[in-house]
Amino acid sequence: MLLRPHRTRARRTTSGDSGTERETPTAEPQLSRRRSPRRSRWLDRYGWYEPRSEGAWSTTRQAEAWNLATSRRRVRQDGVLAGLNTISGELEIVDAFAAYGAETSGINVCVIGDIGRGKSSWIKTVCVLRQLVAGRQVVVLDKKPQAGRGEYTPLAQALGAESIRFRTGGSGARLNLLDPAISAGGERRGGIDGVVPAGQEALVLAVLTDAMARDLDEKEKAAVGAGLTLVNAEARAQGRDPVIRELAMRLLDPHPDDGCGFGQRWNERALEWGLEPGLALLRLADRDLRGLVDEPTSPAVRDALETHPLVHMDLSALPTDGPALRVVMTTANTWLANKLAARSAVHEQTILVVEEGWHVAVGSTGEVFRSNSKLSRGLALSTISAFHHPADTPLDSPARALMGEASIVVMFGQARADDAAETVRMYRLPTGTEDTLMRLGRGQALVKIGSRDPILVTHIRSPFEAALTDTDAAITGEAGALSISDLARTSLETGEAQ
Ligand SMILES: Nc1ncnc2c1ncn2[C@@H]1O[C@H](COP(=O)(O)OP(=O)(O)O)[C@@H](O)[C@H]1O
Ligand SMILES: [Mg+2]
C-alpha cells in the first residue's frame, strides 16, 4: 500500500464575524490500492498461479503475523470421555489405562479440590460408571455418609451391585486381616516377577505400629513374625482361617517351645518378646476392630470380585477417629492387591476408588497403602484417590507421596491461596496457574496427564449420571423424589447431557 498525496481538495472554513464561508485549498494524504496484477493466460495454463506443494522460506517475524492456533487436535481415540476442553471445545478423553505408555508411565490418578467442586461426580462418572462400560472392574471404598448410607449406594443400586456394609461391633461385613488370600510373608504369588504386595506380616506390623504409637523393636518384630507363622500353620492344619485374636493369645500365652526358632540361648526369653504387641492386638480385637477384621472374611467380600464388576464397600458407618477405618481400608487394599497378584497372566484392568484419601494415607498403614499402589502397573490396578487442602498435608506424609506420584492429576477449584500455591508447586504447573485454580467453577477442572501441559476441562454428565451424582439433595430437600428406575427411564427418554 502506498501513502501519497492524491489530489488537492478544498476545505471549508468559516470566517469570524461575517459568517461567510470560504474555500481553503489543502493537500490531504489519501490511501490508494495498487491495482491487482493481471493474470497471464499462458502462465495460468501452466499452473503458475496454483499453490506450491513445496514450502517457502520465511522469518519468525513474518510468520508471527499468521497467529497460528496454539491448540492441536488429540490423536488418541480410545478411552473414556470426561468432558469438553473449555478452550478448544473438543471432547477430552481422560483414561489412565488408555493414556499409559504414550502419555504416562503410571496408572494412578489423584483428584484434588475443595468440597463441593465436583470431585465425587467426576470420580463416579469418569472413573466408575464409564469404566464399567469399558469392561473394567471397580472396587469402591466408600467412606462418606449420605442419607445414612455410603454416598455410592445409589450408584451401586442402579447397577444392581450389592453394597457390602462394614460396622463396628460385629453386625456388618468382615475382612479378615489374616485372610489366607493375603500372602503370609509377602512371598510371590503368580503374576509378574517383582510384583509383591504387602503380606500379612507387613500389615500386622503396620497396624501394631499405629496402635502402639511407636516403632516395634527387633525382638517384638521377631516375636510377631514367629507367632504369625505358628498360627497360620495351626489354622491350615485344622482347615480354617486364622484370626488376629489367636495371634494375640499366642503372643501373650506362648507354647513352651515357641521360642525354639531363636536358638538355645534365647529359647526361654523369646517367650516374653511378644507381650506388648500381644496386648495391643488383643485390645484392637476386643474394641476398635471388633467385628471388622478379626473374624473370617464374609462370603460377600470373598466372592465380591467374581459376582459383579462393581464392588461397593460401604465404610460410612465406621468412626473416623480411631484406627478402624484406616485398618479396614488398608486391609481391603492389601487383600485386593494380593488377589490381583495371584491371578494368572491374564490381568483384568481394575480400579480402586478411595475418596477421602487422607483417612487412609497416614501413619504406617498409609505406608502399606502407598507401597501397594506403587505396584499398580504390575497388577493393572489403578488407584483413584481424592484429597482436599493439600497445604495442610505434611510434606513427609504418605498422603503427600500418593498425591505426588499420580500420573494423572485432576485439579478442581480451590478457594484458599495456600492450597492453590501448594498444588502449583507440587505438580510444577506454569506460574499463574494459582489464579486459574482459584477461579474454576463447579464441574471445571485442570487436568494434567503425564508431563503434558494441563488442559481445562468442563466435566459433562448425562441426566442419569447427574441424578446419580447429585450430592446436594440432602441440603436442597429434593432427595428421594425419583427412584433409581425413574432415573434410568428419564435418562433413556431424554438422552441429553448436561
Ligand atoms: N459438572 C457439573 N456440572 C454441574 N454441577 C455439578 C457438576 N459436578 C458436580 N456438580 C454438582 O456439585 C455438587 C457437589 O459435587 P460433588 O461431586 O459431590 O463435590 P465434591 O466431591 O467435590 O464435594 C453436586 O450436587 C453435583 O450435582
Ligand atoms: Mg465428594
- In this structure, the residue with its CA closest to atom 15 of ligand 1 is 118
**Model confidence at 498: pLDDT above 90:** no
Q: Ligand 2 centroid to 482 CA: how many Å?
A: 21
Q: Range with the lowest mean pLDDT among 182-191, 424-433, 475-484?
A: 475-484
Angle at 457 between CA 452 and CA 463, to 5 degrees: 145
- Assess whether pLDDT exceeds 50 at residue 102: yes
d(CA 393, CA 425): 14
443 Cα nearest atom in ligand 1:
1
Give me the residues near ligand 2 (ion), CB cutoff below 5 Å: 120
pLDDT value at position 491?
45
Check whether 466 has a pLDDT greater than 80: yes
pLDDT of residue 117 exceeding 90, the answer is yes
**443 Cβ inside 6 Å of ligand 1:** yes
Cell reading at 220 = 517384638
What is the band of 373 on the pLDDT scale with cuts at 50, 70, 90? confident
What count of Cα atoms within 13 Å lies in the side-chain half-sphere of residue 92?
Answer: 27
Regarding predicted confidence, which is higher, 319 or 169? Answer: 319
Ligand 1 and 459: CB distance under 6 A: yes
Query: Alpha-carbon distance 327 to 293, whole Å?
Result: 8
Q: Higher model confidence: residue 64 or residue 241?
A: 241
Segment among 40-54, 117-131, 279-293 with least mean pLDDT: 40-54
Is 53 a residue whose pLDDT tops 70? yes
pLDDT 10s digits, 266-278:
888 888 899 999 9
How long a stretch of residues is the chain?
Answer: 498
Ligand 1 pocket check for 442: Cβ under 6 Å: yes
The C-alpha cell at 182 is 493375603
Of ligand 1's listed atoms, the one at least distance from the Cα of 498 is 3
Among 119, 143, 153, 442, residue to substitute to test ligand 1 (most atoms within 8 Å of Cβ): 442
- CA 122 to ligand 1 centroid distance, Å: 8
Query: What pLDDT score was predicted for residue 73?
Result: 61
Residue 298 gets the label, from left (phi > 0), alpha (psi -120 to 50) or beta, of: beta
Instruction: Give per-residue pLDDT as tens, 404-413.
Output: 999 999 999 9
227-234 contacts: CB < 8 A, separation 24 or more? 227/251, 227/254, 227/258, 227/274, 227/278, 228/178, 228/184, 228/200, 228/201, 228/204, 229/184, 230/255, 230/258, 231/178, 232/178, 232/184, 232/200
pTM exceeds 0.85 for this model: no
Q: Mean pLDDT of all residues in the chain?
A: 84
pLDDT digits (tens, 9 = 90+) for 249-307: 999 999 888 888 888 888 888 888 999 999 999 999 998 899 999 999 999 999 888 88
| Residue among 112, 107, 104 nearest 451 (CA) | 104
- How far, in Å, CA of 451 to CA of 105, rounded? 10
Of residues 346 and 134, the one with the higher pLDDT is 134
Q: pLDDT-derived band of residue 443, with 50, 70 and 90 as boundaries? A: very high
Among the listed residues 261, 269, 230, 258, the one whose alpha carbon sits nearest the alpha carbon of residue 246: 230
Q: Which ligand is nearest to the CA of 144?
A: 2
More confident residue, 374 or 7: 374
Please, are residues 353 and 139 in contact by the beta-carbon 8 Å criterion?
A: yes
pLDDT value, residue 221: 94
Specify burial of residue 85 (Cβ count, 10 A radius: 0-12, 13-18, 19+).
middle
For residue 408, which of 103, 40, 78, 51 has the smallest C-alpha distance? Answer: 103
Grouping H, G, I as helix, E, B as strand and the rest as coil, residue 371 is: helix
Amino acid at site 171: S
Q: Is 143 in the pocket of ligand 1 (CB under 6 A)?
A: no
Q: Assign 378 a pLDDT band (cuts: 50, 70, 90).
A: confident
Q: Measured between alpha carbons, how far is 103 from 100 in angstroms, rounded to an integer?
A: 6
CA distances from 475 to 231, 373, 420, 472 (A): 50, 35, 27, 5
Q: Which of 469, 476, 478, 496 to mutate to test the pocket of ligand 1 (most atoms within 8 A of CB)?
A: 469
Cα–Cα distance, 383 to 406 (Å, whole number): 9
Residue 471 has pLDDT above 80, yes or no: no
Select from 420, 381, 393 the least CA-distant residue to 138. 381
- Ligand index nearest the alpha carbon of residue 117: 1
More confident residue, 477 or 339: 339
> With bands split at pLDDT 50, 70 and 90, how would you rate the model's confidence at 76?
confident
